[in-house]
């Protein structure tokens, strides 16, 4: 039985493969990548490497085998192309007779446009008849901590989330949940709502940044429309700025506060605190 990870050299995929290597022999892991050179280090450690592209269905011909457990890490494009690309992987896994396909989705509570492609992919997966596991990942700490420079420069966290709270966790935490599903038993036809143990507000996030930097960082609460304009003015494409502003509006409605405890139960440990992620980011 192989474990096949798509998007294996991406930010989440790297964590998944590294953690798989701690649990199963390298020869049981196949990393699916678009650029073989980016996986040279994995190949050197004995991981199988397959080159395929979500946008090129023919590259998935013969890639999967009966009994494989597959992790479909969602593509980065937003829109109909993204769902079509996901369908390519699902169809190939179904035709091969894969034993399980786990998909990194979005929280079921999320109504923002960002969730539309995930809901559509879930429908494709459920209709396929494949044994599935929906890993509905909440927000990542890194969505915020990877881009602290402008926040520290302005002395402000700018968001349109009101007093909403976010149950974020680290990429490594979500990767650990995926590894638990891919290497464990009894995860067929399951849905996991995944989020951090401790939810936080943006005012609390700003206060944590202030504490750790010794600088005054405030929370500048703006409207979704204002945030959309700020993001577009900073160079983000208008459609993507609208998507991010929509996520903040969902946060304000409580849609990214996840209280199931599924993430820590799957991993068998507490999730990474936001403060720890901030500290790691500040150390560089």
Residues 104-124: tens digit of each pLDDT: 999 999 999 999 999 999 999
Mean pLDDT calculated for residue range 140-157? 95
C-alpha to C-alpha distance for 88 and 84, rounded to whole angstroms: 6
Contacts of 82 (CB under 8 A, 6+ apart): 74, 75, 117, 121
Mean pLDDT calculated for residue range 268-280? 98
Q: What's the length of the chain?
A: 284
C-alpha to C-alpha distance for 110 and 214, rounded to whole angstroms: 35
Of the chain, the percentage scoring pLDDT greater than 70 comes to 99
Residue-wise pLDDT tens digits, 7-20? 999 999 999 999 99
C-alpha to C-alpha distance for 42 and 30, rounded to whole angstroms: 10
What CA–CA distances, in Å, run from 213 to 175, 204, 276?
Answer: 29, 14, 13
> How high is the pLDDT of residue 46?
98
Q: Does the global pTM surpass 0.75?
A: yes
Domains of the chain, each with CATH number or no CATH: 3-137+170-195+259-271 (3.40.50.720)
Instruction: Please choose, from the candidates 267, 265, 271, 192, the residue with its C-alpha nearest in 3D space to the C-alpha of residue 22.
Output: 267
């Amino acid at each position: 039985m192989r474990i096949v990870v798509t998007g294996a050299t991406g930010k989440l995929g790297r964590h998944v493969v590294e953690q798989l290597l701690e649990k199963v022999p390298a020869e049981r892991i196949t990393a699916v990548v678009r650029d073989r050179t980016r996986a040279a280090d994995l190949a050197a450690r004995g991981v199988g490497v397959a080159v395929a592209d979500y946008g090129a269905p023919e590259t998935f011909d013969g890639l999967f085998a009966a009994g494989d457990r597959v992790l479909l890490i969602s593509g980065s494009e937003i829109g109909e192309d993204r769902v079509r690309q996901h369908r390519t992987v699902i169809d190939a896994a179904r035709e091969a007779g894969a034993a399980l396909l786990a998909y990194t989705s979005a929280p079921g509570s999320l109504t923002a446009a960002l969730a539309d492609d995930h809901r559509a992919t879930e429908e494709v997966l459920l209709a396929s008849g494949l044994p599935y596991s929906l890993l509905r990942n909440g927000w990542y700490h890194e969505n915020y901590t990877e881009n602290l420079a402008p926040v520290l420069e302005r002395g402000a966290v700018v968001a349109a989330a009101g007093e909403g709270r976010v149950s974020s966790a680290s990429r490594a935490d979500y990767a650990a949940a995926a590894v638990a599903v891919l290497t464990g038993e009894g995860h067929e036809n399951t849905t996991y709502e995944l989020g951090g143990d401790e939810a936080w507000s943006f005012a609390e996030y700003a206060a944590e940044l202030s504490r750790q930097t010794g600088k005054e960082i405030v929370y500048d609460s703006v409207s979704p429309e204002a945030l959309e304009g700020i993001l577009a003015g900073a160079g983000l494409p208008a459609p993507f700025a609208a998507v991010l502003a929509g996520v903040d509006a969902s946060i304000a409605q409580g849609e990214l506060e996840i209280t199931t405890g599924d993430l820590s139960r799957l991993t068998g440990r507490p999730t990474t605190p936001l403060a720890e992620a901030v500290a790691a980011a500040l150390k560089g």
